[in-house]
């Protein structure tokens, strides 16, 4: 196995940890609850970066201006974390078996936001993994990345062999479908790397493309955020939802899972063992009249520690009004 190296290491011959700790790191990651782990070199994402630039040039990111910032960081972890040598990529299953209700008085919430905020859950696990690595290998330094850092999570997961990026642009794992969260731990030590990647198994299937009510999947593997229900209900910072999307909300208050719900690979879902992802009360379907009556303080209390705070009270109430306007009998 390849030995550990760091930019500043000296006296390699007397280092007590000559064998790469990749196997140990993976075992510890699994003990912490991660279902899948892969380790790859911290080298630039060249092809992925080219696709990202093309996507940005098409303005498919809408008003998510941060996506266009620091492109060199998004494609090269050595810019994000100087001295980076390895990237540990993890996947955490979040599927629970609750179901949406069909009621015009409620709004459907995307499965990823049913439980506690995944940023907090993944970050705590990755920080624990980093602490464990530093106990075993004191020369190790690292950076935890969970979605909000400028790093291409799905591209790294695909490179690390955790799955493939489907035509709906979500990562699909053979064992858990696409119901997984992704995180990274960038390290300044060189490890033994994984070389195997998962073949794209989408084949000729176009169910996700055909099912999207707003045609947001403009072509296989390309999503125009401006047409996406998830974008409109979470990221769009406008007082109203565009009419062409509002009429196709189909009850979605926060996010949208249609392209994942129809994916054949999600028949392999498994219920998560992470209790923090179990649905909070009112986070599978939210009662629209109650949302419209919430104060700022009540909103802060109800959605503390939830990913749903991303939309802010003004966004949730805007979405609730849009859904109610689609049901004239309720207005």
Residues 6 or more apart from 128 whose CB is under 8 A from it? 32
On whether the CB atoms of residues 251 and 323 are closer than 8 A, the answer is yes
> How many of the other CB atoms lie within 10 Å of CB of 227?
21
Adjacent-strand bridge partners of 37: 90
Annotated catalytic residue 147: yes
Q: Which of 165, 133, 171, 148 is nearest to 80 (CA)?
A: 148
Task: Beginning with the edge strand found earlier in the chain, give each strand of the sheet holding 86-93 in spatial order.
Answer: 36-41, 86-93, 180-187, 142-145
User: In what helix (H) or strand (E) does residue 259 lie, and over which residues does it extend?
Assistant: helix 258-261
Q: Which of 117, 120, 147, 200 is catalytic?
A: 147
On whether the CB atoms of residues 40 and 62 are closer than 8 A, the answer is no
- Identify the burial level of 7 via C-beta atoms within 10 angstroms of its C-beta, where 0-12 means exposed, 13-18 middle and 19 or more buried: exposed
Instruction: Round to whole Å and give the CA distance between 219 and 212.
Output: 12
Annotated catalytic sites, by residue? 147
């Amino acid at each position: 196995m390849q030995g550990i190296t760091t930019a500043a290491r000296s006296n390699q011959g007397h280092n007590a940890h000559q064998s790469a700790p990749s196997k140990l790191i993976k075992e510890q990651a699994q003990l912490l609850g991660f279902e899948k782990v892969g380790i790859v070199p911290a080298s630039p994402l060249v092809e992925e970066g080219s696709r990202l630039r093309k996507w940005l040039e098409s303005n498919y990111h809408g008003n998510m201006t941060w996506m266009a910032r620091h492109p060199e960081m998004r494609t090269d972890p050595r810019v994000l974390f100087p001295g980076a040598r390895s990237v540990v990529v993890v996947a955490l299953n979040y599927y629970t078996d609750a179901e949406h209700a069909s009621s015009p008085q409620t709004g459907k919430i995307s499965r990823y936001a049913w439980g506690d905020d995944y940023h907090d859950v993944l970050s705590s696990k990755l920080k624990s993994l980093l602490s464990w690595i530093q106990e075993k290998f004191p020369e190790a330094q690292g950076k935890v990345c969970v979605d909000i850092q400028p790093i291409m999570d799905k591209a790294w997961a695909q490179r690390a062999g955790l799955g493939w990026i489907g035509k709906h642009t979500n990562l699909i794992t053979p064992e858990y479908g696409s119901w997984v969260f992704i995180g990274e731990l960038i390290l300044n030590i060189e490890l033994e790397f994984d070389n195997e990647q998962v073949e794209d198994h989408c084949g000729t299937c176009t169910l996700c493309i055909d099912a999207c009510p707003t045609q947001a999947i403009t072509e296989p593997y390309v999503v125009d955020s401006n047409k996406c229900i998830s974008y409109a209900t979470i990221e769009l910072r406008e007082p109203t939802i565009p009419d062409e999307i509002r009429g196709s909300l189909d009850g979605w208050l926060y996010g949208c899972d249609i392209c994942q719900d129809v994916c054949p690979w999600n028949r392999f879902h498994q219920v998560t063992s992470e209790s923090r992802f179990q649905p909070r009360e009112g986070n599978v379907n939210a009662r629209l009249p109650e949302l419209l009556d919430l104060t700022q303080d009540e909103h802060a209390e109800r959605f503390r520690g939830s990913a749903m705070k991303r939309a802010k009270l003004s966004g949730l109430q805007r979405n609730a009004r849009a859904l109610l306007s689609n049901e004239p009998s309720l207005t």
